[in-house]
Amino acid sequence: MSTGQCAIWVASREGLAQALALVRNLAASPWEASGVKLAQCDLYAPERFADGDCIPCSSLAESFRARFFAYQAHVLFGAVGIAVRFVAPVLAHKSVDPPVVVIDNKARFVISLLAGHWGGGNRLARHLALLLHATPVITTASDTCVDSVALDLVVQQAGLCLLDWQELPGIQGRLLDGQCLSLYDPFQALPRIKDLFCPIAKASLPSQFPQITVHWQDLPAYPQRLRIVIPHLVCGVGFRKSTEPELFAQAFTAFSRQYGFSLHAVTALATIDAKACDAGLCSLARTLQVPLEHFSAEVLAREPGPHPSEMAGKVFGQPPFSVSEAAALISAGQRYSKTHLFFPKTCFFGKITLAAAGSAAFLASEPLFCSF
């Protein structure tokens, strides 16, 4: 579990004592969510009353906006109106905005203002309320209605990736109204909660429109449909030295289109130690926002693959092996108990080879490129 940092902002002298107490309490009782432990805090206050425990700011609003995405969460002691004015110019999207929690100066109420679900703001507000013996204030509809379900939280907790955010409010509204939504989820990756979903079989797709689809394929977008992606693929990469950096992204795009998988289904890239620092490959990993893993030639050569390369064996002093296939299979094998080579070594531009392996639990029985 990684360690994150929280920024605490104090708008007036009255809230400073409560803020200092929260810094101590949070260090003793960290908030943990989505693989991040939030224990360390930076305390910001205006210059006119900032003491030795604070970072002084000539403009609290400007400092807040400049550091908005530098922290995993923000807590502001002051009025909700002040917080709204602080945060409004820097909002990006609910999928990336960090949570913002507002606490009154007497620490009576802890209000989840932003990123309540996906960012964990509601859970953070409840945690801070316990530390301060305060009342959490949660206003998201799915948290205030009896027997309601927050679909984005279900997706997040299942380790899935939500696309089509613009369709989420409508889909969530139907759930709140008690409607049963049509669901295409052949692997049952989305947890079945109550009787909210009506599963659709592949054979029924031509005549039934699924309101929610769950797959690793790159399924088409439609109005009033919510796509959820299963991230489980590891892409192995082999390439010649001095390959132009711009070719990596082009090759990967062509690879995903050729085999019909969503870019959001990729959880990591993998290659050989000797080429792990290549600028083009590292740039691709940053673009995809996935880790880049690497293995020695000896380890890769021991992994049996369907398309070994004699040239790779000669270059690295090993028996014939495929860098891309072996790297994908080994990396996937570290994540899943049963793996499968989904897409074999495929060459692009005569310089880059790509392969993809993943969990055997998500082997598709239906053809790729479904057009529903």
Q: Residue 264 in contact with residue 161, Cβ under 8 Å?
A: yes
Residue identified by tokens 């206003």 is 139
Same-domain pairing of 248 and 310: yes
CA–CA separation, 190 and 154 (whole Å): 8
Same-domain pairing of 237 and 217: no
Domain boundary, last residue among 229, 256, 284: 229
Same-domain pairing of 124 and 218: no
Range of the domain at 289: 233-362
% of the chain exceeding 70 in pLDDT: 91
Report DSSP letters for 267-305, one per residue.
EEEEEEGGGTT-HHHHHHHHHHT--EEEE-HHHHHTS--
Q: Is the pLDDT of residue 142 over 70?
A: no
> What's the structural domain count of the chain?
3
Same-domain pairing of 341 and 259: yes
With CA atoms as reference, report the closest residue to 94 among 110, 72, 116, 112: 116
Whether residue 64 is contained in a domain is answered as yes
CA–CA separation, 57 and 45 (whole Å): 6
| CATH number of the domain that residue 337 is part of | 3.30.420.180
Tell me the torsion sign for CA atoms 165, 171, 177, 180: negative
Q: How confident is the model at residue 118 (pLDDT cuts 50, 70, 90)?
A: confident
| CATH number of the domain that residue 46 is part of | 3.40.50.11220
* Structural tokens at position 137: 């204030």
Same-domain pairing of 255 and 163: no
Same-domain pairing of 72 and 167: no
Q: How confident is the model at residue 165 (pLDDT cuts 50, 70, 90)?
A: confident
With CA atoms as reference, report the closest residue to 55 among 41, 65, 40, 37: 41
Domain boundary, last residue among 186, 211, 229: 229
Domain boundary, last residue among 104, 139, 174: 139
pLDDT at 371: 55
Whether residue 144 is contained in a domain is answered as no
User: Between 208 and 368, whose confidence is greater?
Assistant: 208
Same-domain pairing of 246 and 215: no
pLDDT in tens, 352-362: 999 999 999 99
Q: 279-304 in b/e burial notation, b at 16+ Cβ within 10 A?
A: ebbeebbeebebebbbbebebbbebe
pLDDT in tens, 300-358: 999 888 888 888 888 888 899 999 999 999 999 999 999 999 999 999 999 999 999 99
